[in-house]
Amino acid sequence: MKVSVIFPARNEEEFIASSILDVHKYLKSKKYSFEVLVVDNGSNDNTAAIVKKLQKTKAEVKLLSTPPGYGIAIKKGLEKALGDYIIIFNVDFYDLHLIDLIDIDLLGKDLIIGSKMAPWSTDKRPQSRRIITYLFNLYLKIFYGFKGSDTHGIKVFKRSVLNNIYKKCKTTSGIFDSEFVIRAQRMGFKIMDYPVSIQEIRSSRFSKRFFQTPKDILNLFIALRK
């Protein structure tokens, strides 16, 4: 059994090394065959250089490069992933306990979402962020019949989900997560929310994302038209 962890990364020099080492150490303790795919999507800092340095002592770490775009980075990682199980973590937001779900075959599910909105989760982000997340999820429920509590959480899923969905996804920005999960739901995969804890550990990038939201909503509508 092999596990692939995907880290999309853009200007993450402050956190990339510690995040990779943390996940690498945990996977080593599991005795899995694994790979850590870092997808640098347009960084103009030392992110790539730091990853290259880690590669000298961590053979499982691989560096991929794409143009800017979260969705572009994720699709590249999914395209190159060799694992039977795929994990998508963010450099500043990951939960090692999700890896444990692989040991029990994901509790009989195909896709687990580390949800900020699930019961027993802890969301320590600013109130404005929490409100926007709630309203966006409500939008997905009303217009797309979304049944879960969060599409933008960290994820772990079986390769069957990867093989059936990622090539169909058309969006290239942060809205990729929503498209991926809604497509998985429409195709009948078994999905479960898993409570996680989250807090911001750096200056928020929310203002930049906020102005992207109307465009993302339009692109999602176009991508998911039947």
What is the total count of domains within the chain? Answer: 1
Percentages helix, strand, coil for the chain (3-state, rounded to 5) are 45, 20, 35
Whole-angstrom Cα distance, residue 222 to residue 216? 10
Residues in the chain: 226
Each residue's pLDDT tens digit in the chain (226 positions)?
A: 999 999 999 999 999 999 999 999 999 999 889 999 999 999 999 999 999 999 999 999 999 999 999 999 999 999 999 999 999 999 999 999 999 999 999 999 999 999 999 999 999 888 888 999 999 999 999 999 999 999 998 999 999 999 999 999 999 999 999 999 999 999 999 999 999 988 777 666 555 666 678 899 999 999 998 6
The single residue listed with the structure tokens 């694992």 is 83
CB 160 within 8 A of CB 60: no
The pLDDT value given to residue 207: 54
Kindly list the distances between the CA atom of residue 23 and the CA atoms of 2, 63, 120, 165, 212, in Å, as whole numbers in the listed order.
15, 15, 23, 26, 30
As beta bridge partners, residue 156 has: 87, 112
Q: Whole-angstrom Cα distance, residue 224 to residue 186?
A: 10
Residue 153: other Cβ atoms inside 10 A: 27
**pTM, two decimal places:** 0.93
Close Cβ partners of 36 (under 8 Å, ≥ 6 residues apart): 5, 7, 20, 23, 24, 27, 58, 60, 61, 62
d(CA 113, CA 84): 17
> Can you give the pLDDT at residue 208?
60
pLDDT of residue 109: 97
The whole-number pLDDT of residue 46 equals: 98
Whether residue 112 contacts residue 138, with contact meaning beta carbons closer than 8 Å, is answered with: no
Question: 55: which residues sit within 8 A by CB, 6+ positions away?
Answer: 61, 62, 63
Which domain covers residue 173, as residue numbers?
Answer: 2-223
Q: Residue 72 belongs to a domain with what CATH number?
A: 3.90.550.10
pLDDT of residue 226: 63
What 3-state class would DSSP assign to 84?
A: coil
